[in-house]
Amino acid sequence: MSIPDDYRCGLVAVIGRPNVGKSTLINSIMGRKVSIVTAKPQTTRHRILAVHTQERQQVIFVDTPGLHRQSGKAMNRLMNRTAANALADADLVFFVSDATRWTTEDDDVLKRLEQAQAPVVALLNKIDKIHPREKLLESLAAISKRFDFAEIVPISAMKSDNLDQLMEIVPAFLPESPPLFPKDMQTDRSDEFHIAEIIREKLTLMLHQELPYGLTVQVEGMARDEKGVAINAVVWVERDSQKGIAVGKNGSVLKKVGSAARLDIEKMLGQRVFLELWVKVKTNWADNEKDLMNMGYEAS
């Protein structure tokens, strides 16, 4: 690809409170699943780059954990730190809020944005749920008074409403720079990372208790041959009582999770997948920074 002299490239941090649609937005723009999505808050735990390359610009979206009020757990502190650092590095910030309701956590995020050096574009998400549509004008007027936004764009990440218009305004905020990543690269994360996240997504969707916040997944082995891809993964929980919930009666939960995850992994890899899952206990791993690092959580 020949690079124009005025090519633009930069980082766009996608910031907001938990469960407001940040990952859905990025997945919709990318046209593929870069980040897992569930209805449970704090599903995104890692900083994930999504690289959107076009003829005249490369936009590097930084999907971040939802900024939330501090919790005693080391994992919660780490997630807040990860989101704050992404904000510091950004050339542009997307602040995502829910058009149907404003919360004190949204106020908390706006306070953090006061320290941002980059311009902030407000994205009023879930406009498809606003009825009657005249109420959208009220929401737009209200958010315009909350902060000095560079732009305010109403969108529906789920329905892809207004996303083309959103992408048209982004290049003007980015510096002139050659692309940072190859044009065929869409994410900075490995296959093993995405496989572990897919498994965690299926567990989170299936388990309705608080357990999803006390589990994580690691891929321990992955081998390819002419028959397909053999994957061994461990589901880590914090207590023995949680192990029984994650396994299910006669292994029922683990079997359902394995079947659902395998289909998504086969779609991602384009190969037949043989998936083995194990559940193991590591006491209070979510409150131990060393354990978190060993399980792939970043200190930054």
Q: Which of residues 95 and 64 earns the better pLDDT score?
A: 95
Q: Which of residues 4 and 223 earns the better pLDDT score?
A: 223
CA–CA distance, 32 with 277 (Å, rounded to integer): 25
pLDDT tens by residue, 218-258: 999 999 999 999 999 999 998 888 899 899 999 999 999 99
Mean pLDDT value across residues 163-187: 95
Q: With cut-offs at 50, 70 and 90, classify the pLDDT of residue 64.
A: confident
Is 250 exposed, middle or buried, given 0-12, 13-18 or 19+ CB atoms closer than 10 A? Answer: exposed
Mean pLDDT value across residues 201-209: 83
Q: With cut-offs at 50, 70 and 90, classify the pLDDT of residue 70.
A: low
Q: With cut-offs at 50, 70 and 90, classify the pLDDT of residue 297.
A: low
CA angle 73, 11, 169 (to 5 degrees): 125
CA–CA distance, 117 with 300 (Å, rounded to integer): 19
Count of beta carbons in the 10 Å neighbourhood of residue 221? 11
**Amino acid 68: pLDDT:** 52
Residue-averaged pLDDT of the chain? 87
Task: Check pLDDT > 60 for residue 69.
Answer: no
CA–CA distance, 126 with 129 (Å, rounded to integer): 6
pLDDT tens by residue, 114-138: 888 899 999 999 999 998 878 899 9
Task: Check pLDDT > 60 for residue 185.
Answer: yes
**Amino acid 19: pLDDT:** 83
pLDDT tens by residue, 266-275: 999 999 999 9
CATH 3.30.300.20 fits 191-294, yes or no: yes
Mean pLDDT value across residues 156-182: 95
Domains of the chain, by residue range, sit at 8-173, 191-294
Task: Residues 8-173: name the CATH superfamily.
Answer: P-loop containing nucleotide triphosphate hydrolases (3.40.50.300)
Is it true that the peptide bond before 132 is cis, omega within 30 degrees of 0? Answer: yes
Residue 207 has which token pair? 């388990």
**Amino acid 106: pLDDT:** 94
CA–CA distance, 176 with 216 (Å, rounded to integer): 39
Task: Check pLDDT > 70 for residue 38.
Answer: no
Q: With cut-offs at 50, 70 and 90, classify the pLDDT of residue 143.
A: very high
CA–CA distance, 106 with 133 (Å, rounded to integer): 22
Inter-CA distances, 4 with 9, 10, 172, Å: 12, 15, 15
Nearest to residue 127, comparing CAs of 152, 92, 147, 93?
152
Task: Check pLDDT > 70 for residue 40.
Answer: no
Task: Check pLDDT > 80 for residue 57.
Answer: yes
Task: Check pLDDT > 90 for residue 188.
Answer: no
CA–CA distance, 216 with 36 (Å, rounded to integer): 13
Task: Check pLDDT > 80 for residue 259.
Answer: yes
Q: Which of residues 285 and 283 earns the better pLDDT score?
A: 283
**Amino acid 236: pLDDT:** 93
Residue type, 240: D
**Amino acid 104: pLDDT:** 93
Domains 8-173 and 191-294 share a fold: no
Q: Which of residues 171 and 204 earns the better pLDDT score?
A: 171
Q: Are 182 and 152 in contact (CB under 8 A)?
A: no
The crossing angle, in degrees rounded to 10, of helices 104-113 and 74-89 is: 50
Q: Which of residues 299 and 182 earns the better pLDDT score?
A: 182
**Amino acid 273: pLDDT:** 97
